[in-house]
Chains A and B, each alone.
Chain A
Amino acid sequence: MYQYDNYDQTIVDERVAQFRDQTERFLAGQLADDEYRPLRLMNGLYLQRHAPMLRVAIPYGLLSSDQLRMLAHIARKYDKNYGHFSTRQNIQYNWPRLEQVPDILADLASVQMHAIQTSGNCIRNVTSDHLAGVAADEIEDPRPYCEILRQWSTFHPEFSYLPRKFKIAVTGATEDRAAVAVHDIGFYMTRNDTGEVGFRVLVGGGLGRTPYIGAIIREFLPKRDLLSYSEAILRVYNRFGRRDNKYKARIKILVNALGAAEFATRVEDEWQQMDRDALTLTDAALADIKRRFTTPDYQAFDGDAPAFAAKLGEDAAFKRWVSRNTHAHKLPGYRAVSVSLKTPERPPGDATDAQMDTLADLAERYSAAEIRVTHEQNLVFADVATQDLYALWQGLDALGLAVPNIGTLTDMICCPGLDFCALANAGSIPIAADITNAFNDYDYLYDIGELKIKMSGCMNACGHHHVGHIGILGVDKKGVEFYQLTLGGSAASDAVLGDRLGPALEKERVVPVIRSLLDVYLEHRQEDERFLDTYRRIGMTPFKDRVYGAEDEIRRSA
């Protein structure tokens, strides 16, 4: 966990004062709506369907137990006792009052948190692998680089009024767990021929109205050049990105208009001309940042605890949860644990204040007092000794948070949709509830295996529907909610956009159609193929025929 020094704290405190002043001027009528708007957005504050929505930054998804308790406190004091964890590894509150937002920010600042640049046309909160630092497939821990990018991008004076929002993701692992390919810049840590560690650089990924998987513009960037190269990309974008149409203003449109090769040449030219020395990441500066990350107090185990093996034998429910919700850890005797926020009780990604408080206690007891937020809207306890797993599981179960569905079809990504979001065309939370209720047989879920359903309430694609194995997009047809399905998308290392299944479906048909799609999968599945693999092998036709062919027959017989 990164620890602020006085400088970091000063900047966050001064931000609170600045935003308080801006908000007071707005409330006093001295700042016009359209002048205040970008200012509040740069602080994650939206004016929504029912009330303002405040998005709080969780840099690269990492939280201390004290910070999680503060998030619980805010939910209790200023909101309706819950918060929503988003695909950006942030948390959103749906019911704060505008005049209280400065106080919320002051509370956040007291635990080294903020809402800086969680929205607006600026560089957003940097996201990363939720298993950073503990994954076995990691080349290097990406978090110090995320923190360096966080600091560099915080109130960057040149890049605070970009053509559009700008998202950066970093991963240090070989498997992409952070949807890096759909970011404006994606950094993949890699080794060159001489064994030096640096970054492969991708630009122009993004979802929304015009989805793109990003293009690699540099195969190897030395670590020391991380900031100068980022600055070159941002400068090219800031100067040449379109500003005449907000739907064509993301960097992906510029990269596509110029072609990735030409875009790369422009970045390279800018980079060659700029004063790179000032931005070079020296060994000393990097060491300084790394030093301010605390490391868990790991114990040396030979392997899994004997008591753990015994419990696996005794308790089938525990065993099921372990096999579904825990992940390998780089150290023997440890596991990383996913806490599923996809439960029948609440909308995907939501947690109550009481749950957050208890999770903070559990993290202190069992996982180095840290919690991570995943882009799939779950939480992770990254450093749990196997000897503690049973007790942790019981603790989670008491909270209703031991649902063993990680990676299965009920572990959906789902945006707030029509229930909260002013931009929505259709509800997404009710569809998620329908799916959760319909598919509640674990044997069936496990038989289906890995299946990523991702759902957005409109084409802004906050729910990443384009890269779902099954994507669901809410559309509005003459005031009625319809749902457009896509198949075959992926946000992992094999990132690809999904294909449209066919005409949008009425709300009632979404669950039956998913069932039909799964029937087709089960009929065609070879060995342990995932849904995605089967789709890739057999293509769209069998799925389409089943869904729409059947519809034709029904129509004909009617």
Chain B
Amino acid sequence: MKVIKNNTVVNDAWQLVDDGAELPAGDVIVSLGRWQQERDALLARDGQVGVALTGDQDPAALADDLDQLPLIGLLFPKFTDGRNYSSARLLRERFGYKGELRALGNVLRDQLFYMQRCGIDAFALAEGRDADAALQSLRDFSKVYQDTGDSATPVWRLRGAV
């Protein structure tokens, strides 16, 4: 899968696997349902396992599994569906998830800045999108107003009032 990670474009071995499909060898991302049903078998495999959440799935469902998951995918069926921005923040800030949060689906360059600020750190751009061009959008703003648990310092702290 081609992804933007650490400010570069890389091609890695993760594969998003449909629910009915046979598991290929290597690193796989499966649905929450499949993970809950086949957890032991998935963990016994050679490759790594990640779980992809849809916007209507509660990230709390993974709260006890976080140590076993090097990657959690967040699915954006349409770029205008903003539910997984909240899920990203909950995973990072409430549940303390330290692994990779990967945006999947209709992931477009003009939303990357927001995603990054919510704690998403890998972006699998939608088919046919120019990942190099998209890198620029991660730097759209040098200053931000909110404390959202990413590494950016909000301006009210920079102002030195606190």
Residues 83-96 of chain B: 1 if any A CB is under 8 Å from the residue's CB, otherwise 0? 10111010001100
Contact A7 B141, CB 8 Å, known A152-B146, A155-B114: no
In which size bucket is the chain B interface? 35 or more
Q: What is the CB-to-nearest-CB distance from A21 to chain B, in angstroms, rounded to a whole number? A: 8
Flag whether A534 is at the interface (Cβ < 8 A). no
Contact A35 B145, CB 8 Å, known A159-B82, A239-B83, A284-B162: no
**Which residues of the other chain, B, contact A284 by a CB distance below 8 angstroms?**
161-162
A 454-508 contacts with B by CB, 8 A: none
* A39 touching B110, Cβ below 8 Å: yes
Residues 71-88 of chain B: 1 if any A CB is under 8 Å from the residue's CB, otherwise 0? 000000001111101110
Docked pose: A11 CA to B154 CA in angstroms: 12
Q: Give the residue of B89, B94, B140, B144 whose beta carbon is less than 8 angstroms from that of A158.
A: B89
Q: What is the CB-to-nearest-CB distance from B108 to chain A, in angstroms, rounded to a whole number? A: 6
**Which residues of the other chain, B, contact A196 by a CB distance below 8 angstroms?**
none
* A157 touching B85, Cβ below 8 Å: yes
Flag whether B34 is at the interface (Cβ < 8 A). no
* B142 touching A156, Cβ below 8 Å: no
**Which residues of the other chain, A, contact B140 by a CB distance below 8 angstroms?**
14, 18
* B81 touching A158, Cβ below 8 Å: no
**Which residues of the other chain, B, contact A282 by a CB distance below 8 angstroms?**
161-162
* A152 touching B83, Cβ below 8 Å: no
Contact A5 B117, CB 8 Å, known A156-B146, A239-B83, A275-B93: no
In which size bucket is the chain A interface? 35 or more
Flag whether A10 is at the interface (Cβ < 8 A). yes
A 99-121 contacts with B by CB, 8 A: 121
Docked pose: A163 CA to B147 CA in angstroms: 22
Flag whether B148 is at the interface (Cβ < 8 A). yes
Docked pose: A158 CA to B162 CA in angstroms: 24
* B161 touching A287, Cβ below 8 Å: yes
Q: What is the CB-to-nearest-CB distance from B144 to chain A, in angstroms, rounded to a whole number? A: 7
Q: Give the residue of A161, A275, A288 whose beta carbon is less than 8 angstroms from that of B161.
A: A288
Flag whether A38 is at the interface (Cβ < 8 A). yes
B 18-49 contacts with A by CB, 8 A: none
**Which residues of the other chain, B, contact A156 by a CB distance below 8 angstroms?**
145-146
Docked pose: A278 CA to B85 CA in angstroms: 18
* B143 touching A11, Cβ below 8 Å: yes
* B83 touching A14, Cβ below 8 Å: no
* A161 touching B158, Cβ below 8 Å: no
A 143-194 contacts with B by CB, 8 A: 151-152, 154-163
* B113 touching A14, Cβ below 8 Å: no
Flag whether B103 is at the interface (Cβ < 8 A). no
B residues sitting closer than 8 Å to A (CB atoms) are 79-83, 85-87, 89, 93-94, 108, 110-111, 113-118, 140-149, 155-156, 158-159, 161-162
28 contacts between A and B (CB under 8 A): A7-B143, A10-B143, A14-B142, A18-B140, A18-B141, A22-B110, A31-B110, A35-B108, A39-B110, A121-B82, A151-B155, A151-B156, A155-B141, A157-B113, A158-B89, A158-B114, A160-B82, A161-B81, A161-B82, A161-B85, A161-B111, A239-B83, A243-B81, A243-B83, A274-B93, A282-B162, A284-B161, A288-B156
The 5 lowest CB-CB distance pairs between A and B, nearest first, are A161-B82, A157-B117, A288-B161, A157-B114, A7-B155
